[in-house]
Amino acid sequence: MHGNGGEIMEDLFRKFKEESMTKEEKLTFLDELYWVDWDELEKVISLESVFAFLESEDLSIEEVSLVLKLYNNPGGDYVKEFSNIIANIYLRDKVEFIRALNLEKDEISNLVYLFRNDRIFENENDELKEILSKGILVEEEEDTAKRFFKTYETVCST
């Protein structure tokens, strides 16, 4: 596994199965999913349970931000599943998606391809207006939303 060593990960996997992870352990677990060898992971825990966890509606903004990174995982594993999960996060709560994306701004250029390929938007300008009109985002998050949709527009016009 990635940086923390095998014993810590075994403990995390055990707690994941028992559904007894703390907030900090969830963040570590999600971060490790980015680096993990999914073939090895599948030998230890059910991937269906991992995907169900990633689709959970009660993830924090920080947890969702780590889910957004999975689309571009180094092994290129399960991109279609991650595409569906991320699209559903957006469709379920657009503001939450932007807040999470604000924590992982480097993912904007990767995620716009997901949104283009899966045709998530009919009109990106309407999407942006809808999100901004809610008046919930702070200025930095609004800037992230504008950057995301501007990048999307640029990608789709090429």
DSSP letter string over 30-88? HHHHHHS-HHHHHHHS-HHHHHHHHT-TT--HHHHHHHHHGGG-TT-TTHHHHHHHHHH
Written as tens digits, the pLDDT of the chain (158 aa) is 444 467 778 889 999 999 999 999 999 999 999 999 899 899 999 999 999 999 999 999 999 999 999 999 888 889 999 999 999 999 999 999 999 999 999 999 999 999 999 999 989 999 999 999 999 999 999 999 999 999 999 988 76
Both 48 and 75 in a single domain?
no
Quick one: pLDDT at residue 5? 60
What range defines the domain where residue 47 resides?
A: 1-54
Q: Does a structural domain hold residue 62?
A: no
Both 17 and 44 in a single domain?
yes
Both 92 and 158 in a single domain?
yes
Q: Does a structural domain hold residue 134?
A: yes
| 38-71 residues labelled b (16+ CB within 10 A) or e (exposed) | eeebeeeeeeeebeebbeeeebeeebbbbbbbbb
Both 2 and 72 in a single domain?
no
Quick one: pLDDT at residue 31? 94
Both 47 and 88 in a single domain?
no
Both 99 and 137 in a single domain?
yes
Both 50 and 76 in a single domain?
no
pTM of the model: 0.91
Quick one: pLDDT at residue 80? 93
Residue 4 per-residue DSSP state: T
Both 50 and 71 in a single domain?
no
Quick one: pLDDT at residue 1? 47
**Looking at the 3D structure of the chain, how many domains does it have?**
2
